[in-house]
Amino acid sequence: MVNGWARAAGLTLAALVLGLGPAPQASPYKPPSVMKTDCLGPMTFEDTFKSLDAGPDQIRPTKPRRWRTVYGYGGALAWDNRKGGRVAVAVDPSFAGVKAGVAGPASLGLNPFSTDPDTGALVVRAQQTPAEMAPLLWNKPYTTGLLTTKFSFSQRYGYFEINAKLPKGKGLWPAFWLLPDAGQWPAGGELDIFEQLGHENETMYFSVHSGAQKTVANKVTLAADASRDFHLYGAAWTPSEVVWYVDRKEVARTTTPADMDKPMHMIIDLAVGGGWGGDPDETTKFPADLKVLGVRVWALPGLDAKRAASCEVAPGQQGDQ
């Protein structure tokens, strides 16, 4: 299960490819019930977070950083640019805060990103806002972090996977998801590889949003508490199907919406508060951490139908470990 990813996390390369993934080819690939990554196409993205290449770029720079720490909505001084859930602001080390529409005079020194000393995982931390900084943080009671590859990597179709340990607590809302590079939501789709509400650590949500059809939301009961260990959460996105996996075993499957056919970028975030899961209460412990050992993406296999067929997995057969 996790052993393969633990080995992967020890690789010296933090990332294989910058920029867009390869141009997609028509593929007869039908995602199996047990994912075997050696039956996919080439790996197009890998980050095991030996270091974090990230920053708050508002427009695409000549040489993009691997991760962007803002959404880019509304401009640099807008809360929507850093919305970390209903009651939190997504910060980064350079953020100076905003008050009355004006940027603060200097960095607030808030960094939600660190390295877990025990596992080497990237830590995305949500914590209470220092009282003296609240006026510069839209008076939101919590800070958190988000990462997106909008400027550095997007891909049309493929298998997207994260190895993560999730936080526990009411009002916490970790997610790994895909959005198209352009267009108005929900046209073009949204693929939620996973979402979890922190007070339901044995339940996971896997969803597709689309302008072409109603939202498809799959609620799945897990075999274990997601806050107790690292697990693989993945989705195979093909022109015809979306299949979700936990530890590379299928947990849900649906038809790909007709409008979900453009390249999409990845987002990792730990939101705090919202109408769905509610806000933190007295039982929620802070700081709260989302830990990520790695993110990987593969292209779909190409036109070799025989190879794709040979990689179909029989019921009960194990996938990669």
Which residue segments constitute the domains of the chain, with CATH numbers given?
A: 3-310 (2.60.120.200)
CA–CA distance, 91 with 155 (Å, rounded to integer): 27
Determine the length of the chain.
321
Instruction: List, for residues 183-237, the tens digit of each pLDDT value.
Output: 888 988 999 999 999 999 999 999 999 999 889 999 999 999 999 999 999 999 9
Q: Residue 306 has what pLDDT?
A: 52
64 vs 10: which has the higher pLDDT: 64
Asked if residues 173 and 290 have their Cβ atoms less than 8 Å apart, the reply is no
As a whole number of angstroms, the distance between CA 314 and CA 252 comes to 17
Residue 287: is the preceding peptide bond cis (ω within 30°)? yes
> What does the pLDDT average to over 36-62?
96
The structure tokens listed for 181 are 């590079």
Cβ atoms 233, 162 nearer than 8 A: yes
The catalytic residue positions are: 190, 195
Give the 3-state secondary structure of residue 69: coil
Placement of tokens 């993945």 in the chain: 234
Query: What band does 79 get if pLDDT is binned at 50, 70 and 90?
Result: very high
Tens digits of residue pLDDT in 296-316: 999 999 855 455 555 654 444
| pLDDT for residue 150 is more than 60 | yes
| Class of residue 76 by CB neighbours under 10 A (exposed 0-12, middle 13-18, buried 19+) | middle
- Concatenated DSSP letters of 70-119: S---S-TT-GGGGB-STTEEE--TT---EETTEE-SS------EEE-TTT
Band the pLDDT of 65: cuts 50, 70, 90.
very high
Contact 272, 41 (CB under 8 A): no
